[in-house]
Amino acid sequence: MAALDGKRIAFLATDGVEEVEYTKPREAVEKAGGQAELISLKPGSIQAFQHLDKSNTYEVDKAVADADPADYAALVLPGGVANPDFLRADADAVRFVRAFFDAGKPVGAICHGPWTLIEAGVVEGRTVTSWPSLRTDLTNAGATWVDETCHVDNGLVTSRNPQDLPAFCATIVEEFAEGRH
């Protein structure tokens, strides 16, 4: 039996998502038996990037305004500079993220993904890592920032950048399999 055994995992992303930070974790979740769903700000498709260059588009499964966090076992927040900036400005996206923490469900965020966590008000008192430029934002929001490949704090998995994806992917699968924290 696979580690995630059919658990539904939400991937919250929009235009500007760093492609590999969406595709590699999604692949890991699906290989572990999870059902990945792309949640975004609007129906249709989103434009992924490889750094600052446009890459592929991905079909959205559900708009965040229509998504119920109770339907998902865990959440992944990929990075990219534009993606989390758009997400943190959307009240429905912020509410969606906060609901996972309120329910004690595991969450993974990589690179610039923690920007949305800051807006959701869920990093205070936690230890996290991220892309280095978020260090000040995270510490100002009450988090302790560490420069580590992957850090786990009570079900919250964070990593710094695409080079950390092997550790990030393995750790989210492990934490998602454990369930509520």
Quote the number of domains for the chain. Answer: 1
112 a catalytic residue: yes
pLDDT in tens, 21-49: 999 999 999 999 999 999 999 999 999 99
2 domain residue, yes or no: no
Q: Which residue, 161, 163, 158, 86, is CA-closest to 175?
A: 158
Q: Which domain holds residue 80?
A: 8-178
Q: Does residue 3 fall inside a structural domain?
A: no
pLDDT at 96 over 50: yes
Catalytic pick among 51, 112, 169, 181 = 112
In a domain, 1, yes or no: no
Total number of residues shown for the chain: 181
Cβ-count burial of 140 within 10 angstroms (0-12 exposed, 13-18 middle, 19+ buried)? exposed
pLDDT per residue as tens digits for the range 127-173:
999 999 999 999 999 999 999 999 999 999 999 999 999 999 999 99
Confidence band for 94, pLDDT divided at 50, 70 and 90: very high
For the cut 70, the answer to whether the pLDDT of residue 117 exceeds it is yes
CATH number of residue 161's parent domain: 3.40.50.880
Global pTM? 0.98
Check 51, 111, 151, 169 and give the catalytic one: 111
pLDDT band, very low/low/confident/very high, at 181 (cuts 50, 70, 90): confident
Residue 44 lies in a domain: yes
Active site residue 181: no
- Torsion-angle region of residue 87: left (phi > 0), alpha (psi -120 to 50) or beta? alpha
